[in-house]
Chain A
Amino acid sequence: MRDVKVLGPGCARCVATAEMVQKEAGKLGIPVTIEKVTDYAAIAGYGIASTPGIVIDGKVVHAGGLPKSEDLSRWLAG
């Protein structure tokens, strides 16, 4: 079970990012829990400067804009 957090105040791209994570994980057959972190102080605590951000098992892998699906599957598998 991989613990994925999507960091973002709830903008359209943050929602789309969470959906992408769900889809890629389903394709790879990797079980995930997705949590949306919307609190600004909590987001800031991860040290990013742009949203949406993606955190997998406590490690920040992406910040700003939609990720590429190839990158996403690599992060989920890695």
Chain B
Amino acid sequence: MSFNLTTEPALGTGASISMWVGATAIALLAWAVIYNQLAPFSEWVVALMPVDPKSELGEAITFFAYDTPKVLMLLTLVVFGMGIVRSFFSPERTRALLAGRREGIGNVAAAALGIFTPFCSCSAVPLFVGFVSAGVPLGVTFSFLIAAPMINEVALGLLFALLGWKVALTYLCFGLAVAIVAGWIIGRLHLEGWLEEWVRNVRASAVELPTATITIVDRIKAGIEAVKDIVGKVWPWIVAGIAVGAFIHGYVPADLLASIMGRGAWWSVPAAVLVGIPMYSNAAGIIPVVEALITKGAALGTVLAFMMSVIALSLPEMIILRKVLTIRLIAVFAGVVGTGILAVGFLFNALFQ
């Protein structure tokens, strides 16, 4: 069987490639033009309303009218870019890179690849078993499984849109650190015996997949598909989150939040982690609220810990992983990752006074 059939008729022809690339460039240009008009647009909207822009209601409406399109546009751009980048990666290729790798360097590579490798939680079980049975060490597999959902384009895109690139970068670095260290510790504990028995019995060698034809048009399509899939799913949560955030901006007094979620209250970090565990997939709606909380005096470390807990320690994912891990191993996983997130929260609050 030969797979080097590159002469597909009517597909990948020069004309259609330049058409797609050109259309993408025009769309990006239009994006930039519209994005630059958002501030005057929101002022214009508020001016149309019969409210005083300086009043509480006026402030809430300005916040909502500016932030909603801004956040959705930035998120769309980030998700589109990430969709294209991800078309260069696959779990099978990542596995081949990680198989047989030593712990330490393997944990670092796994966490970094976790950012770029396409991953959905419905695929978590096949991925876990596929990795472990093909010789990826358990701790390295965990580094991947922690980083992949935690450092995702929605979280990074929203943090970037609402709190700036410094906070997004901080989240990225601390997220990587938690994934690397937690995976390394789990690897050191040698808990292979705590996997479900059927997982230990899987004997499979990694497959060699025939190369699929991927053109630049396919990659652009993958970006559009990601936007439809992800932005299409999370936008109601984001709009709802911004509405709540707008209310906080306009009405909640700053001192109240500073006393509950400020740096002075040490217990707020563990409380934020615990509250985050049962929450899931509403991360998109939580970040706009979080932004409003921060401007009202909540400590950034507390808020980052909350976000990480919501995303990395979700109950539904643990239920999915229960198929491959014993309860004891899930408890160790939650304990190690939770401790890591706590450390991030405390460290961040201590460092950035």
Interface residues of A (CB under 8 A from B): 7, 9, 11, 40-41, 43-51, 60-65, 67-68, 70-71, 74-75, 78
Contacts and interface: CB of A to CB of B under 8 A. Distances in A.
A76 B204 CA distance: 24
Contacts of B130: 44, 47-50
B213 interface: yes
B212 A67 contact: yes
Given A41-B198, A68-B218, A63 B122 contact: no
Given A44-B133, A62-B209, A50 B123 contact: yes
B202 A45 contact: yes
Contacts of B91: 49-50, 63-64
Q: Which of B127, B199, B207 has the most CB of A within 10 A?
A: B207
Nearest to B324: A40
Given A50-B127, A70-B213, A11 B122 contact: yes
B90 interface: yes
Contacts of B90: 50, 63-64
B207 A64 contact: no
Contacts of A7: 126
Contacts of B125: 9, 40
Interface of B: 1, 3, 5, 8, 11, 90-92, 94-95, 118, 122-123, 125-127, 129-131, 133-134, 198-199, 201-207, 209-210, 212-213, 218, 323-324
Contacts of B218: 68
A75 B210 contact: yes
Q: Describe B's contact surface by its main secondary structure.
A: loop
Contacts of B133: 44, 47
B207 A47 contact: yes
Nearest to A75: B210
Contact of B126 (A40, A68, A71, A78): A40
A66 B109 CA distance: 27
A7 to B, nearest CB: 8
A78 B127 CA distance: 28
